[in-house]
Amino acid sequence: FLLRSVDPPIGDVEGRNVAVLRRLGKRIVFELDGDLFLVLHLMIAGRLRWSDPGAKLPGKLGLAALDFETGSLIVTEASKKKRASLHVVRGEAGLVEHDPGGIDPLASSAEDFAAGLRARTHTLKRALTDPRILSGVGNAYSDEILHAARLSPFKRTDRIDDAELERLRNATIRVLREWLGRLREERGDGFPANVTAFREEMAVHGRYGKPC
């Protein structure tokens, strides 16, 4: 099941306009009229499709449809373990409860990045993907970041020196900006299709047994 909340009821969103789309870490937030929010987390296997108005859900993969006058936004999940989630939230205070609290690596200072990374003792791989530390970095891009920074994913955050930390931050910013630009250019004005975390252009992620 996709819907994980009961109050406010899902019926309260019917007929409301979407005012703003936001990103909250790895969550997509639909800000609706009347101080209501839909908080969607696709997890690993969740995907969005834009279809004609009134389109039917695609078999076992289809979880939900958000119907608009111009089309339907279909939520699918190609996994037996249904981990994607949708919450209906009222007010900014309720929305805060869905924020894990990690810093935005593209908007934070070097000092905040260092403090966040060193606040908990983890491997660098886990630290990069922990939403309580960094916001919005997943498995694929953490691999690319560590490769670009020339750092082992198993190195611990309490053993990283200042020079390595600077390399890591610079690599994080560079890799995320590069892929944001690349993906936006590919999509243009169209809706993203064939979304995957495995790309031939990637340096290391998904390239087990292949040259980096």
Per-residue pLDDT of the chain in tens (212 residues, 90 and over written 9): 899 999 999 999 999 999 999 999 999 999 999 999 999 999 989 999 999 998 889 888 999 999 999 999 999 998 888 899 999 999 999 999 999 999 999 999 999 999 999 999 999 999 999 999 999 999 999 999 999 999 999 999 999 999 999 999 999 999 999 999 988 888 888 887 777 777 778 788 877 777 76
The Cα 133–Cα 103 span in angstroms is 6
Contacts of 130 (CB under 8 A, 6+ apart): 102, 120, 122
**pLDDT score recorded for residue 212:** 65
**pLDDT score recorded for residue 84:** 95
Domain coordinates of the chain in residue numbers? 10-96, 101-212
**pLDDT score recorded for residue 208:** 75
**pLDDT score recorded for residue 116:** 95
Tell whether domain 101-212 is in CATH 1.10.8.50.
Answer: yes
Contacts of 210 (CB under 8 A, 6+ apart): none
Q: The tokens 């993906």 sit on which residue?
A: 183
Q: Judge whether 8 and 36 are in contact, CB under 8 Å.
A: yes
How many CA atoms does the CB half-sphere of 60 hold within 13 Å? 5
pTM (predicted TM-score): 0.86
Taking phi first (over 0 means left), then psi (-120 to 50 degrees means alpha), and beta for anything else, what does residue 8 get?
beta
**Alpha helices in the chain, H assignment, sequence order:** 91-96, 110-118, 124-129, 139-149, 162-187
Phi, psi of 127 (to 5 degrees): -60, -40
Q: What angle do CA 149, 150, 155 make, to 5 degrees?
A: 95
Rg (alpha carbons) of the chain, rounded to whole number: 19
Other CB atoms within a 10 A radius of the CB of residue 70 amount to: 8
Topology given in CATH for the domain delimited by 10-96:
N-terminal domain of MutM-like DNA repair proteins (3.20.190)
Phi, psi of 100 (to 5 degrees): -65, -20
The crossing angle, in degrees rounded to 10, of helices 110-118 and 162-187 is 110
